[in-house]
Amino acid sequence: MSTPHTKKAQLLCLILFLVLLTACQKAAAEPTPTHTPVPPTETLPPPTETPTLIPTQTLTPTETPTETPTPTETPTATIDLAATAAVEATQEAEVVLEKVGAVLEKVGISPDSGYLAWSEADPFPLIDTDYGSLIYEEIDDGVEYSTYVLHTDVTWESSSGLAGCGVIFHAEKNLEVGKQYQFVALRLSGLPLWDVELWEYGHWQSTTTGEPKVNSAIKQDNGSTNNYIFVIKKGVMTIYANDTRLSNVIISSAHKGRVAFFVTQESGKTICEFKNAWIWALEEEE
């Protein structure tokens, strides 16, 4: 007696048989395909390696160095020494002329009446250490003057004895023995003396003032400074000391000559320092 499971198995076997039969029939009906050989392909060389491209480096252009310009020196003005000296001399002359004008005004002389012939502002000392001697310093290279104004400041010092400072004027060429006039201010204890003397052959000849004069306008203290002005014209010399007129002196033996400063003493040591000295040449009187 067949069971339901047996019937089911029989049915599956029948279905399987039909499937296989159908497949066999289909395979018999289709022809077997013919195989066409493929001609051998040319063996290609192995591919060359594609070079790895190194990316081109973009070079940053280096800056062209800028040359630092050599600093140009500021041109220094060429100093014209001659011109500078001329300017300085002119300026000094202007200062001197201003002082000269003030002095001329004091003694009643117009600056229009002459010209500045010589000047020396710097001090120059004369020192005497010999017994009974006189030491002089000629000025302006021995130029001879006849009518002029002479100005100087004189500081004197002495250690002992009779001592003095003075001016030689209207002197002959040889100051040692030639004829000359001498103004001298003498230092004595409590007694400032002055006079004008005529000398020749190195010796005293006469005192044109008659005798030494005394005037308190002359400072005689050791180290003191006296200001002197001499107005010299034909036959007459007017002397001023510290703005005080001492006297008019007759000078008739000579009317022109050299000028010099001097120091004299009896003993010890004497110093006469002259400064602010100048000569104003006057027009010759007819």
Q: What is the pLDDT of residue 22?
A: 59
For the cut 80, the answer to whether the pLDDT of residue 49 exceeds it is: no
| 96-109: pLDDT as tens digits | 889 999 999 999 99
- In the chain, what percentage of residues exceed pLDDT 90? 54
pLDDT band at 167 (very low <50, low <70, confident <90, very high): very high
- In the chain, what percentage of residues exceed pLDDT 70? 68
Q: What is the pLDDT of residue 90?
A: 73
Q: What is the pLDDT of residue 51?
A: 45
Q: What is the pLDDT of residue 253?
A: 81
Average pLDDT, the chain: 81
Domains of the chain, each with CATH number or no CATH: 117-282 (2.60.120.560)
Mean pLDDT of 163-176: 95
pLDDT band at 270 (very low <50, low <70, confident <90, very high): very high
3-state secondary structure the chain: CCCHHHHHHHHHHHHHHHHHHHHHHHHHHCCCCCCCCCCCCCCCCCCCCCCCCCCCCCCCCCCCCCCCCCCCCCCCCCCCHHHHHHHHHHHHHHHHHHHHHHHHHHCCCCHHHEEEEEEECCCEEEEECCCCEEEEEECHHHCCECCEEEEEEEEEEECCCCEEEEEEEEECCCCCCCCEEEEEEEECCCCCEEEEEEEECCEEEEECCCCCEECCCCCCCCCCEEEEEEEEECCEEEEEECCEEEEEEECCCCCCEEEEEEEEECCCCEEEEEEEEEEEEECCCC
Contacts of 23 (CB under 8 A, 6+ apart): none
Q: What is the pLDDT of residue 55?
A: 46
Q: For residue 222, which of 262, 261, 273 has the smallest C-alpha distance?
A: 273
| 65-96: pLDDT as tens digits | 556 556 566 555 566 676 666 666 677 778 88
Mean pLDDT of 153-168: 93
Mean pLDDT of 191-209: 93
pLDDT band at 17 (very low <50, low <70, confident <90, very high): low
pLDDT band at 29 (very low <50, low <70, confident <90, very high): very low
Q: For the ranges 46-55, 172-181, 234-243, which has the lowest average pLDDT? A: 46-55
This prediction has a pTM of 0.69
| 110-160: pLDDT as tens digits | 989 899 999 998 999 999 999 999 999 999 988 999 999 999 999 999 998
| 137-146: pLDDT as tens digits | 999 988 999 9
More confident residue, 286 or 236: 236
